[in-house]
Amino acid sequence: MNGPAIAENPSKQPSAAQTVYEYVSSTVFALAVVLLVFTFVLRTATVVGISMMNTLHDGDRLILSTTHDTPRQGDIVVLSTKAVREAIVKRVIATAGQTVNIDFQAHKVYVNGKALSEPYIREPTSERGDVTFPVTVPPGHVFVMGDNRNDSYDSRFSAVGMIDERDIIGHAVFRLLPISKIGPLAR
């Protein structure tokens, strides 16, 4: 059995103060959620330089996932290293325990003896750096390179070296700008 019917007064309108309060509280709640997401889950970064061409260009604006999941081969990451003053954007080529070898005459990068398929690179790899290959990535580290291989300061140079996973600020997951290229970043 249902309780007594309660008649509502459809003509009763909320007061101006109630309307303003609801609008302000909804706006504050939405801003708090956005602030929390961009503090603990996502960040933005701007690409500086040409080391990731043709995948990314100078001035591209990215959204990064900062959930600190383990980096995987092919991920585009933003990292901070003592070798370079500002944060840099690079691609993870190898992870802990993997061995990297580069054949500079054939312009091929090998990980664990298998040549990488790298349709994203701007030109064949010929810049040597000062690291002697092959190298094995130590635990908790990654080997990174720019997609513009011959104009990238990366793990081929001992000053940059293997990147400690703790120095990874985030994984690039989405391009915001330029608008003509907006969308998710594929591995």
Helices (H), 137-185: none
The answer to whether 114 is a known catalytic residue is no
Please give the structure tokens belonging to residue 53.
Answer: 């061409």
90 is catalytic: yes
102, β-bridge pairs = 109
Return the H-helix or E-strand segment holding 89: strand 84-95
Instruction: Name the β-bridge partners of 99.
Output: 136
Question: How is residue 25 written in tokens?
Answer: 């509280």
Single-letter code of the amino acid located at 74: G
d(CA 51, CA 34): 31
Residue 146 to residue 122: CA distance in whole angstroms: 9
How far is the C-alpha of 131 from the C-alpha of 133, rounded, in Å?
A: 6
* 134 to 51, 113, 149: CA distances (angstroms): 23, 10, 17
Q: Which of 11, 15, 25, 51 is catalytic?
A: 51
- Point out the catalytic residue in the list 25, 65, 90, 114: 90
| Residue pair 42/63 in contact by the 8 Å Cβ criterion | yes
Catalytic positions are 51, 90
